Amino acid sequence: MAGLAASFGSGAMTNAICELEQSDTIFIIGSNTATSHPLVATRIFRAIEKGAKLIVADPRKNQIANFAHLYVRHKPGTDVALLNGMMKVILNKGISDDKFIAENTEDFEAFKQVIDKFTLEEASNISGVSEEDIKNLAKVYASADNASIVYCMGITQHTNGVNNVKTLANLSMLTGNIGKPGTGVNPLRGQNNVQGACDMGGLPNVYTGYQSVTLGDANKKFAKAWGVETLPTKIGLTLPEMFSGIENDEVKAIWVMGENPVVSDPDANHVKKALEKLELLIVQDIFLTPTARLADVVLPGVSFAEKDGTFSNTERRVTRVRKAIDPVGESRQDWAIIQDVSNAFGYEMNYESPEEIFDEIADITPSYAGISYERLEGPGLQWPCPSKGHPGTPFLHKDGKFTRGKGLFHAIDYRPPAEKTDNEYPYLMTTGRVYAHYHTGTMTRNSESLDFEIPEGFLELNPADAQELGISDGHKIKMASRRGEIKTKVMITDRVEKGVVFMPFHFEETNVNKLTNPAYDPIARIPEFKVCAVKLEKA
């Protein structure tokens, strides 16, 4: 999100999901849309039926790639090279939208210099995609009237994730494909409320609505609202910093809410050791997750069915969630738990209901200012919604009027992923999801029917590699990286190309994150889940 915020001024999907039906060209990169976001895929299928062109770039030939008019398989971690190659073609052929660039963007020249220096040949060599295909991708995308880009973790979970996103933003601005219905750059968010968590300031550097903690104005406003003298202006710790903090004895206690870092974070062995070293680990969750099993204190929170409140989804839509059943067992409303802890510490909170909390959010968050529970009856509202009568905003940056003023081009050179293959670790491993499970499986693996579909982890391996290793379908394999080793079953498939393997990360027993690289993006601090060098051996 940091990348989009820097380019456009707002870190969220630029369009509403249903607008994808109006796109005449859709470019999917690093998103396994049909599996991970099926209802977004529905809109894409509808667009295709209406005649839209679909282009897909992904190291792994996923389900939606079967519907693509053009599918290219680039090597993991080479997105910038591929995209810069496309932009090279667009500039060479003179099919960029020069009027849009001149009127609505800045820093184009610096960006152009980078592209000028880069050659199509380099793009092809690095990404493993033929020059012909790169040319075609560029032509199809640039000649569209309403092109939408759809991306997901395949773009962001890299050491250069923010650069990947900025490069996509460059591509959309270069061709003027932004600021219209069905036209824009659309990151698909995972959890139903991950957008909401970010909107609420669940990041170390901002308050609600992305108001920066380093700006005095916002601090004063929040200090006043919360009845305190001053608030700190220092940026907090990101996840990787917390873990290094534990190592240097700077962080002594952590309160984890609804996360399962023992399975979801890279270099899992290391994460576990760090958590064990803490003086106090509190975990608030709905199940006793592997992380909760390490905790000193477990606070049982509530599931969606037991709570009242709002969710903000990937298209910035705020919707109400209503309590269907009373909290089970000893579990309690998450907000009430936080309120009690705060009161025990001596900062008094006296909220009576989630609605009262929401009203406070609306009071101090400009993009939520016009939203109230009353207005959320029915289908909800998409932010920004700055005033009571405002209808909400389906797509951002209308007519090239970017949230930050002008759209900002970024000059971005290709940088290789943090870890390369070598003689000892000759395979590139990438991680991802499968359709029956969600994230670390805390919830889905507790569901009988979903666990029935896919009960255990597996490694996708190209037939040629399988032959070299002398291994057949369903057999066990030992996979090791510089950080750890696991054993798992093999699935032989040409979804992955030779030299590349794929493994889903939902399974605690075969936790692929024991292997992944914790090296992270310098800005967004997202770890490189998608590229890591491994060796394979028959088990």
Residues found near other proteins in the complex (CB under 8 A): 34-35, 38-39, 41-42, 45-46, 49, 63, 66-67, 320, 322, 377-379, 434-436, 449, 452-454
Q: Residue 95 corresponds to which tokens in the numbers above?
A: 């099919």
Nearer to other proteins, 7 or 36 (CB): 36
Helices 79-93 and 120-127 meet at what angle, rounded to 10? Answer: 150
Question: For residue 438, which phi and psi values (nearest 5 degrees)?
Answer: -125, 120
CA distances from 466 to 266, 426, 488, 492 (A): 26, 14, 14, 7
Contact 49, 79 (CB under 8 A): no
Minimum CB separation from other proteins for residue 323, in Å? 12
> What is the 8-class DSSP label of residue 441?
-
Residue closer to other proteins, measured from CB, 139 or 489: 489
Nearer Cβ to other proteins (67/351): 67
Give the span between the Cα atoms of 44 and 64, in whole angstroms: 9
Among 523, 527, 516, residue whose Cα is nearest residue 203? 523
25 with 144: CB under 8 angstroms?
yes
Spatial separation of the C-alpha atoms in residues 480 and 423, rounded to whole Å: 13
Cβ 458 to other proteins shortest distance, Å = 8
Least Å distance, CB 390 to other proteins, is 18
Smallest gap from Cβ 377 to other proteins, in A, equals 4
Instruction: Compare residues 424 and 453 and give the one whose CB is closer to other proteins.
Output: 453
Q: Which is closer to other proteins, CB of 38 or CB of 463? A: 38
Nearer to other proteins (CB atom), residue 217 or residue 377? 377
Of 456 and 468, CB closest to other proteins = 456
Provide DSSP, 371-400: --TGGGSTT-EESP--STT----SSSSGGG
| Contact yes or no for 519/446 (Cβ under 8 A) | no
Shortest distance, CB of residue 32 to other proteins, whole angstroms? 10
If the CB atoms of residues 31 and 331 are measured against other proteins, the closer one turns out to be 31
Cβ proximity to other proteins, 451 vs 485, nearer residue: 451
Contacts of 303-311 spanning 24+ positions with Cβ under 8 A: 304/192, 306/331, 306/333, 307/333, 307/334, 307/354, 308/353, 308/354, 308/355, 309/335, 309/354, 309/358, 310/196, 310/354, 310/358, 310/376, 311/192, 311/193, 311/196
Query: Whole-number minimum distance, CB 385 to other proteins, in Å?
Result: 17
Structure tokens at 387: 């005033």
Sign of the dihedral through C-alpha 302, 303, 306, 312: positive
Q: Which is nearer to other proteins, 60 or 410 (by Cβ)?
A: 60
CB of 432 to other proteins, least distance (A): 13
- Say how far apart CA 373 and CA 379 lie, in whole Å: 12
Least CB distance to other proteins at residue 329 (A) = 24
Least Å distance, CB 434 to other proteins, is: 8
DSSP symbols for 121-183:
HHHHHHH---HHHHHHHHHHHHT-SSEEEEE-HHHHSSTTHHHHHHHHHHHHHHTT--SBTTB
State the minimum distance, in angstroms, from the CB of residue 470 to other proteins.
24
Q: 350: number of CA atoms within 13 Å, CB side? A: 1
Pairing between β-strand 485-492 and β-strand 476-480 as defined by DSSP bridges: antiparallel
| Least distance from other proteins to the Cβ atom of residue 321, Å | 11
Examine residue 384 and say whether the peptide bond preceding it is cis (omega within 30 degrees of 0): yes
Q: Which is nearer to other proteins, 163 or 313 (CB)?
A: 313
Task: Provide the β-strand partners of residue 429.
Answer: 501, 532
